């Protein structure tokens, strides 16, 4: 089993609800807090999910893209073997990559090893923290079934995010990845991220060029 | 990458210590080492190794868990580093004691064996440390065998230069020294070229799925500095600064030591000898700072690369939990 | 998080005795002191001249209550924030289709196949819009975004149509030009449901010019194919759209023909030169929308009956939807542009049809709704309530609040300057009060608006006006300023008295159908807010405070025979009715003594509790046969009049042609029998801008003088993460956005010799400021833009004065002109001449390198009213320690 999140870039408007709800849930969750530095001065803080705003192409053929980026729960997670204490580990039963704060020495080598820059360092606790795929929610049997979902998935107002098991070929996430050409980031670095993104899917003009050409030539 | 002081101290210290011992072992092998001459360098090696060790110790932020650090020898170069550094340290300590209390023993088989073994553990420790850096694909600049060569050669060169301050045989073997410098310099230059290439290697299209360039990361929010929790991102160095530090490195680490040896050889100025350890130290600090500060991490593609700026407001004050 | 904001006010505050206003030198006082001081001022005003109270409110959800309060007080000078927000959108829609976008209506993205959105960055019901766009994308619907900037929703667009700001009207006219020329429009729809066929007098120079031919009882007349002229309804939708008719000795033509003439010269080539959109794109988009709407109808198996008595076995929809917001509204030609958009929608036949635009209850209303403010000076007398609701929709010049040429209201709403100012004009108040135009006031009460900062323009001057003093007496021109705020905003510093409000998590509140409904197209809905956390410190809900003041002042409607009717706002929500015994109150659900009735019913003393049991929410789902064509759906209209959404079950005829506008034009031409202005400029404005069919004219800032000297347009967008000024005191939100560069197109930057990261001067005709450039290919070359309301004044919001919001963020309001350009600039605000909407996005600038590399201007620091926390690390946790 490999639990994961698929984000449909054809639907993400970059509202950052998932970023904030991640912090909201996790700061007081089992793996929190998710601290802030000088919050009322020059602020900075820990976020396990950060939304990027990217632009590409030249005007007027400009493309704008929002990319929510949290732990990719990699199949070959490079953050795991580098860890000297075994604090970074990948769960065998569901593929979630986690950090055991009790044995983490805070050496931050895993932060270097992670190609995606999703691990963050809590100076005060002296440990590295990151997205847990909301393990404390998805495994919380006191929650009703439909709430056993990552906070960021539940809060997305455009339903751009889907949670599920990528190893199960019949799951919604597998279906989406297969049907919509889901892709992972920085594949060349070999981490084999389980988190996938679905590319843009433009709807073409319903007008045939001939009709337009004729109208332009004859009348405009 | 953000240059963390403990890591600078650790890698410089370890390299120096290893370099000194390797140098001593080489001199011994050539029969040009005397007991009293060895005392200061061995002490220096122990000192720098100890400082380095302290550095690595303080790079751990959760000491409670320190006892687990060798749990993953099978996979983690850091676990191995802890082990090899400790072994090197132990041998070094014994060597130091022997050198201090049995000054004439240089020629004894026991001492010679110990020196060789210590040098070997030193080389091993340097190699393991270097491998730790070289085996991280995400740090594109380091992910090359050049990193291993670089760290080991710079360590040895700096060790040799420091040793030169006390062991007069070194400057007189100046041709050997010059060859070592040239070799190290060549590796360093190659490494820098690799760094340059690494900058260009982060591919926004594979990092974002956007098919066409040019790319622009537009966020002014949590993907811009100061990144206090994101130690692997560190904005690109300003070209002028980069140039200056490179010149400084080349000057102090290669050009000036070479010049100093030549001057000393000509006998024009006896003090030239002391330029070697001082210059090497200045050079190696610059070299190592650049090694970190100029290194490119693949996640840079996800962070806005603005020039660094100091926090505008004090970072001290109360801490608040709610 | 906002709950824990260190910027929360927790005690009533009063300006320190002897301290000047504006420096934030406030001291805590007891509630009784604050209340008795303010009620003393108000008592005096009410007994002498109630106009001397100006009460203006910002982004609140209590407009029904506030409007009632002000009316009972007797002042004409109340309005909510619509003047600086989007009154053009509201009025443009109300005068066209008796509804609008926004809270009034909505694109049906569940059924649309083709969707065009103009000028929306975030919108009011923003999460529902996000969901709807996502649903459209899921179905593979085509999404076109018309906006000078591509961002947010626009990022998802299948096609981005960059447009020069303020030129959408020209684009829309050209679309209509193509559609009419290609015959790709819905003639049946126009004949049946709009006044396109209604005959208007065509005789320039006549008093009747442009007015409808009407029967004795006022019904419009249309011509039939056979030449007969009959009342609109008897024509059964068969009125002709073209030709000229001679009737009773005069010439008449169908109003459609007037529109047709207007769009005739709006060729794609012309529009291209105005908008910057290639001609080919304009033609293609027109053909796309025309073909999808006319040739791919969406037929639902829902039978319905229209007001002619025709039974329709199915409901025919047209899967082409539109949406628009402030990108169209916030211009001085916005009203006419929005009229244009609704005209386009009528032309395509997409109003209240599946796949098109759908009303949200209680809309549609009459075009325009039949509510008007009392128009005479005598209607606002001491110790009397005002004679009518304070805001509404004039239908002729006779409805204006003028005394000759002189405005009755302090904001000059409903005056000749801004006749259809349906939401008032809050942005005019400070300047008018300070210059005693048209008269001086005594007390200004501000609720939930940060008018000394991000909702003002020419900000530095406006701040000066708040502290302006009479040269002779040394007294403040605005003697008393009362602010109701929950946080230590920039405006708090300008208060003489501050009432600390609760946040919405600490109070009872209603989102009412009487106010800004949250209804969905499938039926009316409303909801409540309830206290979920204890009140902070010594705070009180503003509505409770206003009720307390009303009780002390013994305002009619609040106090009967000396006894207060309401102890607090919760009481008001329970028991207030629009008219005594009307059965219509703030909340429509769970009415009647037992809570069993909906929409109309006696007040229910347990209503709030019942809402609380139902997740704070109530909704009525319309049966299918009442869901579409509601302006003409007899079944719906009968029901709507029973539940008092409309006064009578009459059809609502959509106004492709607006006769009310024509009456104003006649007044401008001196040919209206009733009220008309004397002043030449006023006359000219009416004649020029009150076209009865949609027109485009350049924004008023585009006089050649300004256009040449200031070649770029500067606009803002709302960030999805911040609500105006409220986000910056939230420890998390401020990390998401705390400084705002000025975005510029790289080619433009290159042409100006500017580069990424450069500091520049941004100069408008009223002043200049600095900004840091950021190049972006996602902005049209003649536009620069930044985020709205991120910058903060030093000392406010409990932020460190060195914070990025103060030191690195810019507020473009500093350079947005408050007055119109040209020879009369001091007399006219930079408002839409029809509605008084603030023309935010008309501002023009030039940009050149700056010698200073920092934000300028930064206002003087003020004294904070709250303690600033010095926190190095903040960690919320539920764990011990
Ligand atoms: N997150 C968040 N949500 C909010 C608010 C908030 O502050 N934050 N504020 C609320 C309020 S008060 C309001 S009024 C609404 C407003 O909601 P919006 O109308 O979405 O507000 P703006 O951000 O002003 O968006 C205007 C858009 O129009 C574009 N634009 C500017 N000029 C033109 C033009 O001439 N033509 C076209 N086609 N486009 C143009 C701008 O680029 C921008 O994208 O949002 C409400 N929702
Ligand atoms: N340049 C530029 N300027 C603009 C706009 C733009 O797009 N560009 N948009 C305009 C528009 S559409 C609008 S609507 C205005 C909005 O402008 P404002 O209405 O001034 O909006 P806010 O900044 O939200 O200020 C609201 C005030 O309410 C206070 N407040 C927050 N919560 C509460 C509460 O619970 N109770 C009370 N009593 N007070 C509270 C806040 O502290 C703040 O002082 O800005 C306008 N200004
Ligand atoms: S920081 Fe912690 S989790 Fe990461 S490598 Fe070091 S010990 Fe392992
Ligand atoms: S994304 Fe980074 S932290 Fe997450 S599993 Fe992959 S390598 Fe590890
Ligand atoms: S899965 Fe949970 S922890 Fe991970 S990004 Fe989403 S909300 Fe955050
Ligand atoms: S919540 Fe959804 S739409 Fe918003 S940024 Fe996250 S993924 Fe995108
Ligand atoms: S801020 Fe509140 S009301 Fe506005 S969209 Fe978000 S959840 Fe809805
Ligand atoms: Mo607004």
Q: The CATH number of the domain where A54 resides is what?
A: 3.30.70.20
Spans in chain C with pLDDT lower than 50: none
For position B101, what pLDDT does the model report?
85
Instruction: Compute φ and ψ for C781, nearest 5 degrees.
Output: -60, -25
Contacts of B22 (CB under 8 A, 6+ apart): B119, B122, B123, B156, B159, B160
Q: Give the homologous superfamily in CATH for domain B5-210+223-303.
A: Formate dehydrogenase/DMSO reductase domain (1.20.1630.10)
Cα separation, C331 vs C327, in Å, equals: 8
Which chain B residues are within 8 Å of A44, Cβ to Cβ?
226-229
Which residues form ligand 2's pocket by a CB distance below 6 Å?
C 58-59, 81, 84-85, 326, 447-451, 454-455, 484-487, 489, 491, 501, 503-504, 542, 716, 723-726, 788-789, 812-813, 816, 840
For position B58, what pLDDT does the model report?
82
CA distance to B159, B177, B254, C171, C804, per residue, from B163 (Å): 6, 12, 16, 80, 51
Residue A30, in any domain of the structure: yes
Cα separation, A185 vs B302, in Å, equals: 11
Residue of B66, B86, B204, B208 to mutate for A, most A C-beta atoms under 10 A: B208
Burial C508-542 (b: 16+ CB within 10 A, else e): bbbbbbbbbbbbbbbebbbbbbbbeeebbeebbbb
Is the separation of the CB atoms in A22 and A47 below 8 Å?
Answer: yes
How many domains is chain A partitioned into structurally? 1
C874–chain A Cβ distance below 8 A for any pair: yes
Are B221 and C4 inside 8 Å of each other by CB? Answer: no
The residue among C408, C616, C444, C434 whose CA lies nearest residue C531 is C616
Residue B35 pLDDT greater than 90, yes or no: no
Residue B321 pLDDT greater than 90, yes or no: no
Task: Report pTM.
Answer: 0.95
pLDDT bucket at B310, cuts 50 / 70 / 90 = low
Residue A42, in any domain of the structure: yes
Residue B34 pLDDT greater than 90, yes or no: no
For position B288, what pLDDT does the model report?
97
Q: Beta strand C712-717 with C844-849: parallel, antiparallel or unpaired? A: antiparallel
pLDDT bucket at B322, cuts 50 / 70 / 90 = low
- Among A192-206, B36-50, B168-182, C186-200, where is mean pLDDT lowest? B168-182
Domain ranges of chain B: 5-210+223-303
Q: Give the rounded percent of residues in chain B with a pLDDT score beyond 90.
A: 56
Q: In the structure encoding, which two tokens stand for residue B223, read together?
A: 């993907």
Q: Is C29 exposed, middle or buried (0-12, 13-18, 19+ CB in 10 A)?
A: middle
pLDDT, tens digit, 9 for 90 and up, residues C178-219: 999 999 999 999 999 999 999 999 888 889 999 999 999 999
Q: How many CB atoms neighbour CB B82 within 10 A?
A: 23
Q: What is the rounded average pLDDT for all residues in chain A?
A: 95
Which chain A residues are within 8 Å of B302, Cβ to Cβ?
50, 52, 67, 69, 116-117
Q: Going by CA atoms, what residue is nearest to atom 6 of ligand 5?
A: A152
Cα separation, C466 vs C472, in Å, equals: 17
Is the separation of the CB atoms in B290 and B249 below 8 Å?
Answer: yes
Domain containing residue A208: 3-73+132-219
Residue B316 pLDDT greater than 60, yes or no: no
For position C630, what pLDDT does the model report?
98
pLDDT bucket at B165, cuts 50 / 70 / 90 = confident
Q: Going by CA atoms, what residue is nearest to atom 35 of ligand 1?
A: C165
Residue A80, in any domain of the structure: no
Nearest CA in chain C to A45: C735
Cα separation, C188 vs C198, in Å, equals: 14
For position C1, what pLDDT does the model report?
65
Are C134 and A158 inside 8 Å of each other by CB? Answer: yes
Cα separation, B193 vs B143, in Å, equals: 13
Is the separation of the CB atoms in C388 and C373 below 8 Å?
Answer: yes
pLDDT, tens digit, 9 for 90 and up, residues B107-149: 788 999 999 999 999 999 999 999 999 999 999 999 999 999 9
Residue A91, in any domain of the structure: no
Burial C633-664 (b: 16+ CB within 10 A, else e): bbbbbebbeebbbbeeeebbbbbbbbbbbbbb
Residue B286 pLDDT greater than 90, yes or no: yes
Which chain B residues are within 8 Å of A67, Cβ to Cβ?
208-209, 302
Nearest CA in chain A to B224: A44
């Amino acid at each position: 089993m490999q639990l994961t999140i698929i984000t449909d870039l054809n639907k993400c408007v970059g509202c950052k609800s998932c970023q904030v709800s991640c912090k909201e849930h996790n700061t007081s969750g089992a793996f929190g807090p998710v601290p802030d530095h000088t919050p009322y001065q020059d602020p900075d803080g820990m976020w396990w999910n950060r939304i990027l705003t990217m632009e590409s192409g030249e005007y007027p053929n400009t493309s704008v893209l929002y990319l929510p980026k949290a732990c990719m729960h990699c199949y070959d997670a490079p953050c795991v073997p580098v860890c000297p204490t075994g604090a970074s580990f990948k769960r065998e039963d569901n593929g979630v990559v986690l950090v055991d704060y009790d044995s983490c020495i805070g050496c931050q080598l895993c932060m270097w090893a992670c190609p995606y820059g999703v691990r963050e360092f809590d100076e005060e606790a002296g440990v590295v923290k990151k997205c847990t795929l909301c393990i404390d929610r998805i495994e919380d049997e006191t929650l009703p079934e439909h709430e056993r979902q990552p906070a960021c998935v539940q809060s997305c107002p455009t339903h751009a995010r889907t949670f599920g098991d990528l190893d199960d070929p019949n799951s919604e996430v597998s279906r989406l990845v297969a049907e919509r050409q889901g892709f992972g980031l920085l594949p060349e670095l070999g981490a084999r991220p389980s988190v996938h993104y679905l590319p843009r899917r433009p709807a073409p003009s319903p007008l045939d060029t001939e009709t337009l050409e004729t109208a332009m030539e004859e009348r405009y | 990458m953000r240059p963390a002081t403990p890591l600078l101290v650790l890698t410089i210290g370890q390299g120096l210590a290893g370099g000194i011992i390797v140098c001593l072992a080489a001199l011994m092998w050539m029969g040009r080492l005397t007991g009293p001459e060895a005392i200061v360098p061995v002490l220096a090696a122990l000192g720098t190794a100890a400082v380095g060790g302290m550095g690595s110790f303080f790079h751990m932020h959760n000491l409670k868990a320190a006892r687990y650090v060798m749990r993953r020898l099978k996979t983690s170069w850091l676990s191995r580093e802890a082990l090899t550094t400790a072994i090197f340290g132990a041998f070094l300590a014994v060597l130091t004691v022997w050198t201090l209390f049995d000054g004439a023993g240089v020629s004894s088989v026991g001492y010679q064996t110990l020196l060789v073994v210590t040098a070997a553990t030193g080389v091993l420790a340097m190699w393991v440390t270097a491998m730790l850096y070289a085996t991280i694909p995400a740090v594109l600049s380091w992910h090359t065998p050049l990193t291993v060569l670089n760290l080991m050669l710079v360590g040895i060169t700096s060790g040799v230069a420091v040793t030169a301050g006390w062991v007069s045989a070194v400057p007189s073997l100046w041709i050997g020294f010059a060859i070592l410098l040239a070799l190290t310099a060549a590796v360093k230059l190659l490494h820098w070229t690799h760094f340059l290439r690494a900058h260009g290697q982060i591919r926004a299209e594979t990092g974002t799925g956007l098919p066409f360039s040019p790319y622009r990361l537009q966020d002014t929010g949590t993907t811009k500095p100061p990144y206090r929790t994101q130690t692997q991102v560190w904005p690109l160095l300003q070209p002028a600064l980069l140039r200056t530090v490179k010149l400084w490195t080349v000057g102090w680490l290669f050009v000036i030591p070479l010049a100093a040896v030549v001057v000393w050889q000509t006998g024009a100025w006896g003090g030239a000898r002391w330029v070697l350890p001082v210059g090497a130290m200045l050079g190696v600090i610059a070299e190592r700072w650049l090694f970190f500060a100029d290194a490119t991490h693949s996640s840079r593609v996800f962070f806005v690369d603005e020039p660094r700026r100091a926090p505008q407001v004090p970072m001290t004050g109360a801490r608040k939990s709610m | 998080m906002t709950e824990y904001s260190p910027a929360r006010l927790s005690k009533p505050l009063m300006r320190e005795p002897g301290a000047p206003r504006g420096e934030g030198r406030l001291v805590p006082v007891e509630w009784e002191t604050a209340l008795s001081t303010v009620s003393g001022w108000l008592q005096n005003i009410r007994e002498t001249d109630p106009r001397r109270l100006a009460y203006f409110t910002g982004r609140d959800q209590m407009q029904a209550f506030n409007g009632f309060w002000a009316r009972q007080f007797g002042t004409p000078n109340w309005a909510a924030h619509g003047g600086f927000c989007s009154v053009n959108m509201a009025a443009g829609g109300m005068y066209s289709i008796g509804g609008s976008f926004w809270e009034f209506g909505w694109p049906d993205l569940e059924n649309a196949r083709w969707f065009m959105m103009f000028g929306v960055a975030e919108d009011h019901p923003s999460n529902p819009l996000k969901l709807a766009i996502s649903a459209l994308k899921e179905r593979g619907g085509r999404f076109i975004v018309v906006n000078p900037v591509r961002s947010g929703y626009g990022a998802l667009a299948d096609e981005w149509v960059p447009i020069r700001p303020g030129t959408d009207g020209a684009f829309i006219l050209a679309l209509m030009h193509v559609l009419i020329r290609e015959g790709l429009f819905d003639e049946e729809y126009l004949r049946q449901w709009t006044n396109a066929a209604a005959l208007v007098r065509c005789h320039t120079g006549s008093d009747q010019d442009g007015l409808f031919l009407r029967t004795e009882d006022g019904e419009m007349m249309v011509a039939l194919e056979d030449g007969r002229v009959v009342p609109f309804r008897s024509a059964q939708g068969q009125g002709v759209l073209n030709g000229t008719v001679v009737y009773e000795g005069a010439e008449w033509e169908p109003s459609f023909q007037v529109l047709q003439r207007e769009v005739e010269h709006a060729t794609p080539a012309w529009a291209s030169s105005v908008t910057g959109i290639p001609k080919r794109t304009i033609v293609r988009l027109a053909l796309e929308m025309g073909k999808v709407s006319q040739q791919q109808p969406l037929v639902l198996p829902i039978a319905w009956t229209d007001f002619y008595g025709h039974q329709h076995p199915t409901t025919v929809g047209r899967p082409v939807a539109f949406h628009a917001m402030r990108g169209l509204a916030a211009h001085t030609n916005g009203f006419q542009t929005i009229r244009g958009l609704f005209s386009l929608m009528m032309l395509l036949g997409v109003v209240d049809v599946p796949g098109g635009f759908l009303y949200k209850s209680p809309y549609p209303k009459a075009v325009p709704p039949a509510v008007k403010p009392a128009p005479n000076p005598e209607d606002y007398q001491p110790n009397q309530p005002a004679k009518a609701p304070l805001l509404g929709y004039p239908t002729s010049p006779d409805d204006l609040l003028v005394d000759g040429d002189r405005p009755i209201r302090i904001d000059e709403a409903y005056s000749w300057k801004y006749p259809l100012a349906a939401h008032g004009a809050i942005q005019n108040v400070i300047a008018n009060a300070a210059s005693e135009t048209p008269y001086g006031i005594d007390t200004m009460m501000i609720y939930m608006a940060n008018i000394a900062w991000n909702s003002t323009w020419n900000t530095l001057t406006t701040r000066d006006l708040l502290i302006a003093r009479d040269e002779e007496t040394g007294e403040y021109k605005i003697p008393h300023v009362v602010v109701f705020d929950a946080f230590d905003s920039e405006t708090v510093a300008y208060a003489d008295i501050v009432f600390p409000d609760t946040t919405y998590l600490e109070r009872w509140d209603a989102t009412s159908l009487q106010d800004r409904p949250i209804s969905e197209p499938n039926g009316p809905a409303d909801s409540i807010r309830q206290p979920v956390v204890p009140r902070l410190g010594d705070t009180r809900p503003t509505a409770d405070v206003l009720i307390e003041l009303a009780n002390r002042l013994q305002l009619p409607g609040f106090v009967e025979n000396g006894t207060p009717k309401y102890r607090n706002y919760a009481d008001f929500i329970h028991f207030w009715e629009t008219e005594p015994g009307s059965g219509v109150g703030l909340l429509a659900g769970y009415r009647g003594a037992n809570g069993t009735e909906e929409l109309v019913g006696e007040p229910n003393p347990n209503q709030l509790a019942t809402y609380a049991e139902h997740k704070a929410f109530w909704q009525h789902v319309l049966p299918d046969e009442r869901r579409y064509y509601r302006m003409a759906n007899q079944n719906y209209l009968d029901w709507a009049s029973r539940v008092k959404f409309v006064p009578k079950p009459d059809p609502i005829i959509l106004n492709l042609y607006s006769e009310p506008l024509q009456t104003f034009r006649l007044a401008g031409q001196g040919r209206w029998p009733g009220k008309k202005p004397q002043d030449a400029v006023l006359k000219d404005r009416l004649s020029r801008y009150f076209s009865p069919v949609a027109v485009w004219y350049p924004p008023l800032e585009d006089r050649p003088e300004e256009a040449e000297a200031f070649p770029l347009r500067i606009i803002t967008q709302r960030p999805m993460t911040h609500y105006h000024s409220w986000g910056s005191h939230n420890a998390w939100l401020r990390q998401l956005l705390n400084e705002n560069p000025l975005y510029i197109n790289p080619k433009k930057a290159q042409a100006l010799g500017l580069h990424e990261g450069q500091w520049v001067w941004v100069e408008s005709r009223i002043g200049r400021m600095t900004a840091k450039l950021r190049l972006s290919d996602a902005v049209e070359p003649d536009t620069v833009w930044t985020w709205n309301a991120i910058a903060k004044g030093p000392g406010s919001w409990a932020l460190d004065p060195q914070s990025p919001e103060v030191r690195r963020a810019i507020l473009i309001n500093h350079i947005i002109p408050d007055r119109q350009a040209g020879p009369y600039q001091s007399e006219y605000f930079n408002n839409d001449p029809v509605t008084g909407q603030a023309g935010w996005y008309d501002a023009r600038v030039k940009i050149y390198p700056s010698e200073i590399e920092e934000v300028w201007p930064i206002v003087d620091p003020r004294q904070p009213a709250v303690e600033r926390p010095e926190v190095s690390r903040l960690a919320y946790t539920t764990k011990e320690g």
